[in-house]
Amino acid sequence: MKVCLLSDGIPGHVNQAHGLLDWLRAEGIALEVDIYQCRLRAKWLRPLLAAACNRLSHHRLLARAVLRCYHFSPTPAAADLILSAGGNTSFASAALAHLQGVPNIFIGSPRKLSASTVSALLTLEPSAGFERNNVVLDIAPARVSSKAPDQRTWALLLGGDGSGYEYRQQDWKDILRWANAQARASGIRWIVAGSRRSPAYLRDLCEEELDTDLVGAWCWPDSAQALSDLLPTAVRIVCTEDSMSMLCESMNLARPLLSLRPASAQPPARYRKAIAKFEQLGFLEREEARRLEKYDWQQAHTSDIGHRVSRARRRAIQQMAELIPALKKAVAPAPADKPPR
């Protein structure tokens, strides 16, 4: 299957699209993927593009007009499937799919688009008006790795203020002191990673609070080592709750995951519901930073988590296959039960 992946250049969006491709490959679907940079020429065009895309079936020239509002590199070629994530690519996806007469999958909010503009809309929460073709995911897609984890390596992923979460310096100290104690007690070393939203003082605070012999690798935004290479080597992952992308990357690795939040946490309702769903489905555990001293992180069975993640992926792909005939033909059949003796 030839896939046209539209990329807006935002790492979180591109990672989701590549993650979905990894899900499809894991189901035995052979893919030939071409990546096209797709940049909207002006943000003020979005309401006009939404209106135009909702009327593509009435005027064929509208699709070409929509595509002229983008800068592509290179120019998209014919494909069997259009895939993208991130709102600015949604209009290009709808127009290309209409012109080429092929299905399209979009990951994210539909941004005032109608259900007729997308073959399968992938979201974490139901989208009104898309009841027929909305695939509601248990977890958002992210890259899948076949690397075996190191039993003596855990990962500590530190974000920063955002999504309604506000960290005080004491929150960071509570997290780092707990991390030190856990490393000593469990005989492990940490991969410590920060993000672009991490406060400027956090790197120095990490070096002050964490014993150097308990850190196997540092991974800051300007580090030479990429977190995507290091994270799969961790057998357990601790992640601050402000970063949905880091949480989803961790869940896709099917590792025991602990989500940490500061005392001041007022995320939007949709964000709060998504986190609650992850906890309810057993993809992560949660705790407040100031309560970590008394928190007992029970030994989780990685195989159980792996089964949950695999079921979530396969359920999503089966729903997409029902909406997209080309996928249904390509998906490998589920293993048959053994006949009774």
Specify the residue for token string 């895939």: 83
Spatial separation of the C-alpha atoms in residues 37 and 236, rounded to whole Å: 35
5-64 tens-digit pLDDT: 999 999 889 999 999 999 999 888 999 999 999 999 999 999 999 999 999 988 879 999
The angle that helices 11-26 and 244-252 make with each other, rounded to 10 degrees, is: 20
Query: Alpha helix locations (H) across the chain?
Result: 11-26, 46-53, 61-67, 87-100, 169-186, 202-209, 227-230, 244-252, 269-280, 302-323, 325-330
Dig out the tokens for 118 from the structure: 């997308």
3-state secondary structure of 60: coil
Which CATH number applies to 2-119+324-330: 3.90.550, 1.20.1250, 3.90.700, 3.40.50?
3.40.50
Distance, CA of 59 to CA of 149 (rounded, Å): 53
DSSP 3-state of 14: helix
| CA dihedral over 12, 13, 14, 17, signed as positive or negative | positive
pLDDT digits over 99-118, tens only?
999 999 999 999 899 999 99
- The per-residue b/e assignment along 97-117, b for 16 or more CB within 10 angstroms, e otherwise, is bbbbebbbbbbbebeebebeb
Each residue's pLDDT tens digit in the chain (341 positions)? 999 999 999 988 999 999 999 999 988 899 999 999 999 999 999 999 999 999 998 887 999 999 999 999 999 999 999 999 998 999 999 999 999 999 999 999 998 999 999 999 999 999 999 999 999 999 999 988 888 899 999 999 999 999 999 999 999 999 999 999 999 999 999 999 999 999 999 999 999 999 999 999 999 998 888 888 999 999 999 999 999 989 999 999 999 999 999 999 999 999 999 999 999 999 999 999 999 988 877 666 667 888 999 999 999 999 999 999 988 888 766 555 444 44
Which residue do the tokens 């992923």 mark? Answer: 157
According to CATH, where is 3.40.50.2000 located in the chain? 150-303
* φ/ψ of residue 217, rounded to 5: -160, 140
CATH of 150-303, one of 3.90.550.10, 3.40.50.2000, 3.40.50.150, 3.30.300.30: 3.40.50.2000
Contact 20, 122 (CB under 8 A): yes
Q: Two tokens at 63?
A: 């699709």
**pTM for the structure as a whole:** 0.87
